[in-house]
Structure 1
Amino acid sequence: MSKLMSKLSNESCRKARLSRDPRFDGKFFIGVLTTGIFCRPICPAVAPKEENVRYFDSAVSASLAGLRPCLRCRPDSAPNSSAWKGTRTTLERALTLIEAGVLSGNDAIDIEALSARLGISSRYLRQVFSDNFGTSPKKYAQFRDLMFAKQLLHQTNLSVTQVAFASGFNSVRRFNESFKQTLRLTPTALRKTTQKKTQVGKGTDKPELITQGVMLSLFFSYRPPLNWARQLAFYRLRMVDKMEWDLGGEGYGRSFQLGEAKGYFEVNHLVDKNGFKINIYLASSDHLASLKDITMQIRRLLDLDADIDKIENLIGATAIMTQGMISGLRLPGTWSVFEAGCRAVLGQQVSIIQASALLNTLVKAYGENVTISGKKMILFPRPEVIAAASLDELKMPGARKAALKALGLFVSEHPDGAVDDWLSIKGIGPWTLAYAKMRGLSDPDILLCSDLVVKKKVLSLYQQGVDPVPHDKQTKTLTRVEYSQLTDMLTEQASPWGSYLTFQLWNLA
């Protein structure tokens, strides 16, 4: 096993695979040496004998060992492994950029450019990937693209050519060669196998090419627990009319724009399958090249790759969360960090209801009205539109209007700029910045100590008996200095999962 598997013993893997425990899905893979395939821990096939099994930390490691992915449990559909998440390492930063597609497609950069963005040498970057995955960054990126392509071949009716370009390949010939060489099967053969199983089975929902664009239906897995009821309630309270909508029961939908790609998605929770059925509607088939980035955004928005067991074990041991933990809370993201920033500015010093009303007014006045697949909706306003807007429709102080316009101007002029640079904008403070990172970038380590609700809950828990810092024994009240000491301690204890502690406190309030 590689370094990433050092904390997961062979015995733990054995127990997880024999019980088909979904909490380990994507955290390791099972290589079956007698058949030459590798599987997820939840694979429904008859469990092989232990002497015929080898465990791998990642799908790419299993593939490099000469194994091909199982066609039954489909390792391409597993939640992403989070073994390295929250470690603030060069590897995490590199993986984030690679998963965002910087090494794929027409706009791909080379390894030297990627290394420069990471502030390290290309030699060191290659060494990091060799040590952890046994392969180069470029080959790792190509494997990720191929696994996404495999998912599309399994679950959609897109042609092989469309799948190739949607997966980041510039040449169908190169796609076919790489697919066969890496996955030991041609795309056409895989498609035929999938179609045959569909015909003899119970059937499956298949996407369709439609006159006004493309509709695809995919299945996204997650590791339980997941408290979708709480997450959906969070979205419902903050919904923007015609930009987001409630599908009733377990469903949620919203519009999106990513570069030139426009569309919307609708999700339905399938609790018995530990996953979501995701319908994605694109305004044009020309936008298929953005499909991989769109699916990654949806996964991030729903926080499907979080290892909640690991996170809850850590934050449950903090000084104020010794009891009352709400299991399965995820980070409900926004589509973009700019949207999260606007939500934060509008939410300054007002209630959630008031902030939601302001946001609805903003989107209605300045969002783009579109019709996609026959459905009318509104897209969140572009930064340059907000920068040029009068904002007269918003009933709020002029200083906050100025901050919102300045944010739009800054983001339109620096589309790839660091969020930390927003602090140079008058009216943008640490709370606004932290909120934008937590919901717009899904930063896992944001404890919003200055948030009024968080502060009230921390003080309430403290007054119930938690006594981690010195205080006035007679009044049992915290001074400003003592509260700062307490939250500094909590920030350290909850790291790198401070954002999850924030959502625990919000939900306990």
Structure 2
Amino acid sequence: MRYFDTAVAAANEGLRPCLRCRPDSAPQSNPWIGTQTTVNRAVALINNGILSGPTAISIAAFADKLGISSRHLRELFQRHLGVSPKQYAQYQQLMFAKQLLHQSAMPITDIAFASGFNSVRRFNELFQQQLQLTPSAIRKNHHAAVGLTSDSTSLHLRLFYRPPFNWQHQREFYRLRAVNEMEWVGENHYGRSFQLNGGYGYVEATHCEASCSFKLKVVMSSADDLVHLQAVVCNMRRMLDLDADLIEVESRLAALGDYLPTINSGVRIPGVWSPFEAACRAVLGQQVSVLQSVMLLQALVDHYGETVIIEGCRLRLFPTAEVIAGASLDCLKVPRARKAALKALALFIQHHPHASVDEWLSIKGIGPWTVDYVRLRGLSLPDILLSSDLVVRHQLLANLSKAGNAEHLDDTATKGEQQRYYSAQTECLSSQISPWGSYLTFQLWSQQ
């Protein structure tokens, strides 16, 4: 008997997912990566197609974008995932192709290109090598039972998760922050428009509690944009936080005691489509209420977001960095410095599209809280405790006070004493909850 840390490592040794229980449809949680920032960033870029499809780049160029050598990149992947970056990318492509074969009526040739392969022949070769089956054999055995259909620009898939999942919390979080004509939220669904790699479309995810899954509808503006399908689906998995193991996370949260006396089970990280959008939300949300920040974001989208018609629906796309960089932003009733920060950020991203969010700290007006918010919702990193956030601070101190652990901080305590006490507590707390600080942040937000 052999044990593997990851499915891709097992596949690299010649093992394939069971065709009956289909473990490949389960969430691809990577808790072993922990707080390894470079690997997390590399995995996210690979999942978004940087090493596949017609715009794929070389491993050397990929390592250069990450700011490391290609040798070090391979060492990191071997240590954390048991495979090379290229092997990881190919496995993700194959598993996505397998999902499309099971759940859609797309022609096999279209599936090959939608999964990021540039050659149908190469797709068939790798599929046979990795799974010991041909794509047509998978389709023959499973397609008739699924009964899902697709046309040239739309597709229906099912995305699974491990319970618990607090859909009511996630739904209300999105509903409170939704931008009209760009997002829509119903009793059991969340939808939004998107732009990706020059293409655009919309997605709608409908929650199915009984099957622990979401029915995902993806509509692209053009059949040519289906080459970006894997990146779209991957991004929606991230936004809904479907790959989290909440059993593990909540066991760590339960051990925090006075810091978090009660847990709202199933609370996940509601993501934002892109880091740039998350940054705009953060900048416009500074020192104002959630309602006011949404009104500002609505004005930004109304004035600078492109209007598109998809399947007869009128939708708005979030403005690109290029558009914001050249805009006057007169529609925003915010301090001049905040407009300048937004334009400076857009200009930086326009000229450095592959820069890490850490580099955004060099931009005037972009501070640690904004960058951490982007890490939290734009990248969905699991270990972001927003200790500088006012709600987090208030909730933590309130919890400690109720437990009698902050009784020495009475009305006579100076601001300096209060800050030193809070810094000491959050430093200890960050160590205790790592690598799941993001989930503590959302627990505290949910209990305000």
TM tier, shorter chain? over 0.9
Q: What are the Cα deviations for residues 395-437 of structure 1, in whole angstroms up to 9, with x where unaligned? A: 2222212222222212112111121222222222221221122
Partners of 1:268 and 1:276 within 8 A in 2: yes
Look up the match of 1:397.
335
Q: Show CA shifts across 1:254-313 (max 9, x none).
A: 000012110000111111111100000000011011111111111111111111121222
Pair 1:182 & 2:121 matched: no
Q: What is the deviation of 1:456?
A: 1.2
d(CA) in 1 for partners of 2:413, 2:337? 38
Aligned partners of 2:447 and 2:220: how far apart in 1?
A: 38
Tell me, yes or no, if the aligned pair for 1:179 and 1:186 is still in contact at 8 Å. yes
CA spacing shift, 1:402–1:96, aligned 2, 3 Å: closer
1-structure distance, mates of 2:311, 2:447: 40
1:465 aligns with 2:393: no
State the 1:131 CA deviation: 5.8
| CA 1:382–1:136: 2 relative to 1, 3 Å | closer
SS of the residue corresponding to residue 21 of structure 2 reads coil
Q: Does 1:244 align with 2:201?
A: no
Please say if 1:226 is aligned against 2:165. Answer: yes
One-letter amino acid matched to 1:208? D
Deviates more, 1:69-78 or 1:59-68: 59-68
How far does residue 446 in structure 1 lie from its aligned partner after superposition? 1.5
Corresponding residue for 1:172?
120
Tell me which residue corresponds to 2:439: 500
1:155/1:218 contact within 8 Å kept? yes
Conserved? CA contact 1:82–1:307, under 8 Å: no
* 8 Å contact kept, 2:65–2:354: no
The answer on whether the counterparts of 2:48 and 2:235 sit within 8 Å (CA) in structure 1 is no
Q: Which moved more, 1:373-382 or 1:133-142?
A: 133-142
Contact 1:84 1:92 in 2 (8 A): no
Rg larger for: 1
Alignment match of 2:363 (pick from 425, 433, 443)? 425
SS of the aligned residue for 2:292 comes to helix
| 2:227 matched residue in structure 1 | 289
Task: Name the CA shift for 1:75/1:260 in 2 (closer, same or farther; >3 Å).
Answer: same
The AA in structure 2 aligned to 1:152 is L
CA drift at 1:119? 5.5
Q: Write the letter of the residue equivalent to 1:173.
A: R
- RMSD of aligned alpha carbons: 2.4
Deviates more, 1:103-112 or 1:433-442: 103-112
Structure-2 residue corresponding to 1:68? 16
Query: Which residue of 1 is the match for residue 217 of structure 2?
Result: 279
Q: Could you tell me whether the CA contact under 8 Å between 2:307 and 2:314 is conserved in 1?
A: yes
Are 1:205 and 2:148 counterparts? yes
TM-score normalised over the length of structure 1? 0.82
Deviation at 1:178, TM superposition (A): 1.2
Q: Which runs of 5+ in 1 are unaligned?
A: 2-53, 199-203
CA shift in 2, pair 1:68/1:501, >3 Å: closer
Q: What is the SS of the residue equivalent to 2:314?
A: strand
Report how far residue 195 of structure 1 moved: 3.0
Seen in structure 2, the aligned counterparts of structure 1 residues 365 and 326 have a Cα distance that, compared at 3 Å, is: same
Contact 2:35 2:383 in 1 (8 A): no
SS at match of 2:106: coil
In the alignment, residue 302 of structure 2 is paired with which amino acid?
Answer: K
Q: Is the 8 A contact 1:320 1:466 kept in 2?
A: no
Q: Which amino acid aligns with 1:487?
A: T
Give the partner amino acid of 2:149: K
Corresponding residue for residue 407 of structure 1: 345
- Of 315, 324, 328 in structure 1, the residue corresponding to residue 253 of structure 2 is 315
User: Does the residue aligned with 1:267 lie in a helix, a strand or coil?
Assistant: strand
**In the alignment, which residue of structure 1 is the partner of 2:104?**
156
Is the Cα contact below 8 Å between 1:251 and 1:269 reproduced in 2? Answer: yes
TM-superposed deviation, 1:449 = 1.6
- Could you say which structure has the greater relative contact order, defined with CA pairs below 8 angstroms and 6 or more residues apart? 2
Deviation at 1:103, TM superposition (A): 2.5
Distance 2:55 2:71 in 1: 23
Q: Distance in 2 between matches of 1:390 and 1:91?
A: 38
Most deviating of 128-137 and 308-317: 128-137
**Could you tell me which residue of structure 1 aligns to residue 143 of structure 2?**
195
Deviation per residue, 1:103-142 (Å, 9 max, x gap): 3222333334444455655455545555666544323321
C-alpha change, 1:475 and 1:461, in structure 2 (3 Å) is farther
What SS does structure 2 have at the residue aligned with 1:392? Answer: coil
The 8 Å contact of residues 260 and 399 in structure 2, kept in 1 or not, is answered as no
Q: Is the 8 A contact 1:263 1:372 kept in 2?
A: yes
* Structure 1 residue 89 displacement after superposition: 6.5
The match for 1:6 is none
Structure 2 CA distance, aligned partners of 1:169 and 1:260?
19
Query: What is the letter of the counterpart of residue 336 of structure 1?
Result: S
Sort the Cα spacing of 1:290 and 1:344 in 2 relative to 1 into closer, same or farther, 3 A.
same
CA distance in 2, matches of 1:90, 1:369: 36
Do the aligned partners of residues 70 and 341 (structure 1) sit closer, same or farther apart at CA in structure 2, a change above 3 Å counting? same
Aligned partners of 1:497 and 1:131: how far apart in 2? 21
C-alpha contact (below 8 Å) 2:259/2:400 kept by paired residues: no
1:92, distance to aligned residue in structure 2 (A): 4.3
Residues 19-65 of structure 1 deviation map (CA, whole Å, 9 limit, x = unaligned) = xxxxxxxxxxxxxxxxxxxxxxxxxxxxxxxxxxx654433344344
TM-score w.r.t. the length of structure 2 is 0.92
Asked whether 1:215 is paired with 2:175, we answer no
Name the SS for the 1:393 alignment partner. Answer: coil
- Matches of 1:364 and 1:483, distance apart in 2: 41
CA distances 1:76-109 after superposition (whole Å, capped 9, x unpaired): 3221032324231665454344333333222333
Summarize the Cα distance change of 1:362–1:130 in structure 2 as closer, same or farther, 3 Å threshold. Answer: closer
> Which one-letter code corresponds to 1:274 in the other structure?
C
SS at 1:138's partner residue? helix
The structure with more helix, counted as a fraction of residues = 2
Q: Once the two structures are superposed, what CA deviation does each residue of 1:181-207 show, in whole Å capped at 9, x if it has no partner?
A: 211111122212223434xxxxx3322
Question: Are 1:482 and 2:430 matched, yes or no?
Answer: no
How far apart in 2 are the matches of 1:365 and 1:134?
48
Match of 2:320 in 1: 382
Unaligned runs of 5+ in 2: none
Letter in structure 1 aligned against 2:249: I
Partners in 2 of 1:388 and 1:119 — Cα distance?
29
Q: Distance in 1 between matches of 2:36 and 2:302?
A: 39
